[in-house]
Amino acid sequence: MQAFRNGYVWSQGTHVTCPTNPAAHNLHAIRGWVEGWQSGVAAGGTADLPAKYAAFLKWNGDGKAPVNDDNAAQPPARRPAQAPPTGAFYGRFTFDGDPPQPKPIEGINRDGFDKVGLLDESLLVGADGGIQNILVWISDKNLPLPPRPVEKRLPPPANLTFTRGLFQPRVLAYEAWHGLQIINQEKVPTNVHWQALVDGAFNRLLPPGESQMVETPVQKLPSQATSNVHPWAKAYIFPCGHPYFAVTDAKGAFGIDRVPPGDWEFRAWHERWGYIKVDQGGQRMFRFNVQAGDNDLGIVKVRPAEDGQSATAVPGEREPSVSNWSRIRADRVAAHDRAIAARYVGRWKLTLPRGFQYDTSITQREDGLLKLDCPTKINLLGTFSVRQGQLQLVESNRDGIMDFVWEDRDGTLVLAREEHTSNGARYVGAKLQWVNP
């Protein structure tokens, strides 16, 4: 994984680690380096591959040795082929019965954390019954793995942070090749001891205010990370071999984007109960036929066993987990103000909450609706209606997007509402500022 990252960074012009004699180096590491460079070039990188690596652009079927031929040094295509249609898979898990309240953690007697009022986060249920920290992922052996995404920047690593006496997040899922960064935000030292089910276990001391990068191999199940210094601090880490996973939020909702259509095997897991038996057959897995577009598992009501060691879905027909967006969007189109919409046509500067900026444009279609577009394909783009000082989403350009609403505040458009199934960034507070017509 680190070799892939190094090769990618090299392609972008930052010449970091590059083995001087690849023929004598670990071939798997060299292959990762070359594949990282190829991915970086496909994303627009311009740095040439060192000549000594040319022979490693072709590999035998067993992946153990390079093939030397006249075509080996041909550069990869600059852009990937058009992606096939995909689906968004989402749903919600709720607690059957009165929501339990988290209890204070007992036995805290170190570094002043006994005064913080720490609560046991092993089962978090919201006032509306939503169960937080249920991990949902595709476990099907026949799932086709996607190519690593073409990005101009390497994705940031996943972060596990020791803060206010606990590890956050409680359940951390990420693609294994992104890597993991462990962070100590406290003024006292701690350690992170990850008990991996297969290779990759580690035990790292973290001085106050410091962080470390660690590589975590793909796992089939989440496994526990603890602190020997602060033994009440726990988290569960799941480095996945693909991007088709999600962790439920405070409302019990989850969403997995860009799923290839097919009848796939899924699993749902919680630290208290292990696998949740979603189907009535009592199996550890459940199947769902994912279609292109939106796919709603519905609201899964979870009933724990009397011993509290397992949980099963309540039988019966499930309610939809999201609103009827087809009807809502049809109402928005009917109420669209075409004349007012024309005032928004022009060039705009988009500023995301984290400060990233993009040049965008708003054009008006023949039907009068507005199209927000940008050379960089981000989630916020789509087609909007205009009503009462708002731009309201009627057509998204990405799977799993339910709603975006922009409010006109003295000529600046501010994102006031969002609803989507993405596990990525949240955008409320993003701004569109007028540049010129």
pLDDT in tens, 14-36: 555 555 555 555 555 666 667 77
Q: Does domain 87-313 have CATH number 2.60.40.420?
A: yes
> Which amino acid is located at 231 in the chain?
P
Q: Mean pLDDT in each 10-residue stretch from start to end of the chain (437 residues)?
A: 66 56 57 69 63 56 44 44 75 93 91 92 94 96 77 75 96 92 96 92 95 94 96 96 92 88 96 92 88 89 91 87 70 89 93 90 94 86 91 83 87 86 71 84
pLDDT of residue 238: 97
Q: Distance (Å, rounded) from C-alpha 351 to C-alpha 328? A: 28
Strand partners, 393: 384
Sequence-separated (6 or more) residues with CB below 8 Å from residue 186:
111, 162, 163, 164, 165, 208, 209
Phi and psi for 289 in degrees, rounded to 5? -90, 100
Q: Which pLDDT value is given to residue 131?
A: 96
Q: Model pTM greater than 0.85?
A: no
What tens digit of pLDDT does each residue of 116-170 get?
899 999 999 998 999 999 999 999 999 998 766 555 456 788 999 999 999 999 9
Q: Where are the domains of the chain?
A: 2-57, 87-313, 325-436
Residue partners of 38: CB distance under 8 A and separation at least 6: 7, 11, 57, 76
Decide yes or no: CATH 1.10.10 for domain 325-436.
no
Report the pLDDT value the prediction gives residue 71, as an integer from 0 to 100.
44
Query: 112, 236, 117: which is closest to 186 by C-alpha?
Result: 112
Q: How high is the pLDDT of residue 154?
A: 65
- pLDDT value of residue 425: 62
Same fold for the domain at 87-313 and the one at 325-436?
no
pLDDT of res. 81: 47
The reported pLDDT for the residue numbered 208 is: 96
Query: Residue 28 has what pLDDT?
Result: 58
What's the pLDDT at 68? 46
Strand order in the sheet with 158-163: 166-168, 158-163, 180-184, 211-214
Closest CA to 163 of 121, 123, 223: 121
